[in-house]
Amino acid sequence: MKNFFNLTDNELLIEYQKLLENYNEYKSLNLNLNMSRGKPCSEQLDLSTGLLNVLSTKEDCINKDGIDCRNYGINDGLPEMKEFISELTGIDKENFIVGGNSSLSMMFDTISYFITHGSSGSIPWGKGGKIKFLCPSPGYDRHFAISEFFGMEMIEIPMKKDGPDMDLIEKHVSEDSSVKGIWCVPKYSNPQGITYSDEVVKRFAKLKPAAKDFKIIWDNAYFVHDLTDEETPLLNIIDECKKYGNEELPIVFYSTSKITFPGAGVAFMACLGQNLKDFKKMYSIKTVGFDKLNQLRHIKFLKNKATLLNYMKKHREILNIKFKIVIDCLNKEFKDNPILRWNNPKGGYFVSVDTDLKCAKRVVELCKELGVVLTGAGATYPYKKDRNDTNIRLAPTFLSENELKTAIKLFCLCVKLAFIEKRIKNQNKKEV
């Protein structure tokens, strides 16, 4: 394998021509390979076929307490679902609201509530001045989209190996009362697969915000989504916050979207004190109740922590093959040609890569012309702007193994092309 950094300009140009020929051959194939979103593949969805049939008679629709789940009622979720999520997370069942099929939707509701009603006696966020939100980046584009939608100013927080830059967070949070919250994916973060260390979680719990209505949006989307047999531990943010009298800080979210069916799962939120009262009140006004039949389906199918964790192993078997294809290919192509860096995640849904020269956008563009669709470059940053233009999020889960092999091979090809283009451009600039 050639190391591009050791090649002369001429040698690079020759390499470029060869790669381009290869590229053009593929271009004529009209491929359509989508690696843009963290979507489970069909084989994963097939694991939950049983979910479709657990409720088939009217008797099946009665819950353990005799509640007819077909009818109205039970605003904050079935008791057995609260027990289930409590066993999984170690958070008291009384602190949960069990929702519909979208945890994102509950996060949106949460932010929207603070905008219209405020929190802890503060004036509503929408009635005061500018609202700032901290955004560990790269991060989840849909979080940032919610902040943007509500007109917040997003402040980028760099990610370190054990979580976001806590020095910077502490500074912003303690000094600026217009900083009202932070988006976190604390376990197997999207896209880098980073799990927050105990020290990071403890520093979150000890925050002393200038804004008394500061909130930690703790989107624990990948809480049981390990890719190895060894679970990466994460401290319970709620317990930690309680220790420091900060129980109003965290609002945590979970979902079964990547456990059962992404389009028809069940979402959960948990919080304490006034937050819990506020959101129970809000949901009692907003709906007569979430889909209890789907909640009942889930508890009958997933049963308890032991069966769930066993079930997640089956996901892992499917996912491991996919992630191995990507990592093996990246290793093969770039181990001795370090024009790309990547993570090797122990959980979650993504491989995050960084191009050596600032050419992520160009890589995505080149891929697109081949029919390989990647997450837009920059999408993992606030306002979709990656100032360094280096980060790309790869989502290996949805494609079939063969499709993925092709897609990742072509991705590597495009990385090389983009690198050489940029290198030559840079050289020309210097000469000018």
Give the closest residue to 215 by CA, choosing from 144, 136, 275.
Answer: 275
Q: Are strands 372-374 and 163-164 parallel, antiparallel or unpaired?
A: unpaired
User: Least distance (Å) from its own copies to the CB of residue 274?
Assistant: 16
User: Least distance (Å) from its own copies to the CB of residue 112?
Assistant: 6
Nearer to its own copies, 298 or 423 (CB): 298
Which string of b and e fits 275-306 if b means at least 16 CB within 10 Å?
bbebbeebbeeeeebbbbebbbbbbbbbeeee
User: Least distance (Å) from its own copies to the CB of residue 293?
Assistant: 4
Under 8 Å between Cβ of 133 and 140: no
Nearer to its own copies, 50 or 245 (CB): 50
User: Least distance (Å) from its own copies to the CB of residue 9?
Assistant: 45
CA 35, distance to chain mean position in Å, is 15
Residue type at position 387: R
Nearer to its own copies, 2 or 70 (CB): 70
Residues 6+ apart with CB under 8 A from 325: 396, 401, 404, 405, 408
Q: How far apart are CA 416 and CA 363, in angstroms?
A: 9
Nearer to its own copies, 151 or 273 (CB): 151
Nearer to its own copies, 261 or 268 (CB): 261
Nearer to its own copies, 117 or 358 (CB): 117
Structure tokens at 159: 């990610």
Nearer to its own copies, 163 or 262 (CB): 262
Question: How much is the CA Rg of the chain, to the nearest whole Å?
Answer: 23
Q: Are strands 267-270 and 250-255 parallel, antiparallel or unpaired?
A: antiparallel
Q: How far apart are CA 213 and CA 123, in angstroms?
A: 9
Under 8 Å between Cβ of 418 and 355: yes
User: Least distance (Å) from its own copies to the CB of residue 90?
Assistant: 27
Q: How far apart are CA 262 and CA 256, in angstroms?
A: 7
User: Least distance (Å) from its own copies to the CB of residue 364?
Assistant: 20
User: Least distance (Å) from its own copies to the CB of residue 66?
Assistant: 12
Nearer to its own copies, 126 or 371 (CB): 126
User: Least distance (Å) from its own copies to the CB of residue 358?
Assistant: 29
Q: Per DSSP, which regions of 362-417 are E strands?
A: 372-374, 391-394
User: Least distance (Å) from its own copies to the CB of residue 73?
Assistant: 7
Query: What DSSP letter does each residue of 25-66 carry, written as one string?
Result: HHHTT---EEESS-PPPHHHHHTTGGGGTS--STGGGB-TTS
Q: How far apart are CA 103 and CA 220, in angstroms?
A: 10
Question: What residue ranges bind its own copies (CB under 8 A)?
Answer: 37, 39-40, 42, 45-46, 48-49, 52-53, 55-58, 60-61, 68-74, 100-102, 104-105, 108, 112, 115-116, 124, 126-127, 142, 145-146, 149-150, 257, 261-264, 282, 285-294
User: Least distance (Å) from its own copies to the CB of residue 143?
Assistant: 11
Angle, helices 305-334 vs 79-89, to 10°: value is 50
Nearer to its own copies, 23 or 254 (CB): 254
Nearer to its own copies, 63 or 232 (CB): 63
